[in-house]
Amino acid sequence: GNSVTQMEGPVTLSEEAFLTINCTYTATGYPSLFWYVQYPGEGLQLLLKATKADDKGSNKGFEATYRKETTSFHLEKGSVQVSDSAVYFCALSPLSGGTSYGKLTFGQGTILTVHP
């Protein structure tokens, strides 16, 4: 079945540091890949997505590139802010077919804390 593995957390950084959160996946075919963010006490917000190999998703200074050859979708940001403190989830959605059609499979989440 499909699965997503994220780097173990939590991650603690100082403001303006470089961020990488690793995400690798197992899936048949060419799934769509997503990063969602969950701020304290809130629901999940879509951060960025990519739907095919070599696509780069970007939003609010965050980037992730769909790497088919390494089955990865690592999240990066060049300079984090205190307001980026949240839980980040990598997820995949199969394109079509089967009973898993449409559902999101999530990684376990990575807690990011940014200190001033």
Q: Under the criterion CB under 8 A, does residue 101 sit at the interface with another protein?
A: yes
- Residue 49: name the closest of 101, 84, 90 by CA: 90
Scanning 13-21, 58-66, 70-78, 91-99 for contacts with another protein by CB under 8 A, the matching segment is: 91-99
Segment 54-83, which members bind another protein (CB under 8 A)?
Answer: none
Q: Under the criterion CB under 8 A, does residue 110 sit at the interface with another protein?
A: no
Q: What DSSP letter does each residue of 50-116 carry, written as one string?
A: E-STT-EEEETTEEEE-BTTTTB--EEESS--GGG-EEEEEEEE-SS-STTTT--EE---EEEEEE-
One residue of 25, 34, 66, 73 binding another protein per CB under 8 A: 34
3 or 83, CB closer to another protein?
Answer: 3
CA distance 31 to 104: 10
Is-contact 90 23, C-beta < 8 A?
A: yes
66 or 80, CB closer to another protein?
Answer: 66
70 or 99, CB closer to another protein?
Answer: 99
CA distance 23 to 99: 24
49 or 74, CB closer to another protein?
Answer: 49
Binding site for another protein (CB under 8 A): 32, 34, 36, 42-46, 49, 89, 93, 95-96, 99-109
